[in-house]
Amino acid sequence: MRLLVAGAGATGGYFGGRLAHAGRDVTFLVREGRAAQLRAGGLEVVSPHGGFKLTPKLVTAGTVDGTYDAILLAVKAYSLDGALADLAPAVGPETMILPVLNGMKHVELLTARFGPEAVAGCLCRIPAHVDEEGRIVQLGKFHDLVYGEMNGARTPRIEKLDAFMHDAGFRAYLSPAIEREMWEKWVMLATLAGITCLMRGSVGEIVGAPGGAEFVNRFLGEAAAVAAAAGHPPSETFLAQTRALLTAKGSPLTASMFRDLQAGGRIEADQIIGDLLDKGRQAQVPVPLLALAYTHLAVFQNRQAA
């Protein structure tokens, strides 16, 4: 199997790097600046599970070398349009696209451009970032990549992908309910981003303030209600685990969107908060906290664009 990884940042670089380090056929599609950095210093991963450094196979826009069996799409949502144009030459009749973007809007865009058969479900769970030296630094111990056919079918191509992903140094999991799991991750991310960005603090700081835990639970309730109205109700197990995670006393947990906001970088407010808000309004679900969070983040985005 030939895998193209679109993006060599924290997510694409980590999982693609692990696969390449395990001997899989992996090529990275990157921008010229990142390509120059990787050619000069290699792709380096710093991880509690053991680090490594390798010389990756690289292509850039306009130099894609034929079609691939699978494409791991690991770019930020605001870079999606450009990435789709760059990777289009790599998509053949049998190519499977595995997007690990946040939210669900990208699934609609990929399906419209490449057709529903080309798109599989995928999500990842990993705390990581790219440091000033260009290294991919894993910040915690979990590193999960979950994938599956959107309709839950166990097809030959998804089984082939599953075999490709296993024993590569991270937790690979073939899900029979990937669409529900993608929605659940969206609910969790929207809640975490909304609460930490609105309150400008960590989970522990929020729940340590008067009314903090109640605020978190109300925000989670809104996000879960939107998912349910869209036909993807989160499981009770997921909701219990997420409530515990987001109301843990003393927790230093923050959203990557909050960290990006603090650093003055670009944020995915439209895809994580705005799209969920739109779906809530279309379903006539009361979403006052989602609306507040989106207005708050839109002020920051508009300032960045000015």
State both tokens at 299. Answer: 């002020």
Say how far apart CA 205 and CA 251 lie, in whole Å. Answer: 8
In this structure, are residues 61 and 38 in contact, taking their beta carbons and an 8 Å threshold?
Answer: no
Listed in sequence order, the residues at least 6 apart from 226 whose beta carbon sits closer than 8 Å to its beta carbon are 187, 276, 279, 280, 283, 285, 287, 290
Assess whether 185 carries a catalytic annotation.
yes
DSSP string, 19-88: HHHTT-EEEEE--HHHHHHHHHH-EEEE-TT--EEE--EEE-TT---S--SEEEE---GGGHHHHHHHHG
Catalytic residue among 105, 141, 160, 185: 185
Question: What is the phi/psi pair of residue 98, to 5°?
Answer: -115, 95
State both tokens at 275. Answer: 């799209």
Is the C-alpha dihedral spanning 182, 67, 143, 41 positive or negative? Answer: negative
Q: Which residue has the tokens 């529903």?
A: 116
Helix (H, G, I), strand (E, B) or coil at 251: coil
Helices (H), ranges, the chain: 10-21, 32-41, 80-87, 105-114, 156-165, 178-199, 203-207, 212-229, 236-246, 256-262, 269, 275-282, 288-305
Say how far apart CA 72 and CA 63 lie, in whole Å. Answer: 18
What are residue 119's DSSP bridge partners?
Answer: 97
**Residues marked as catalytic:** 185
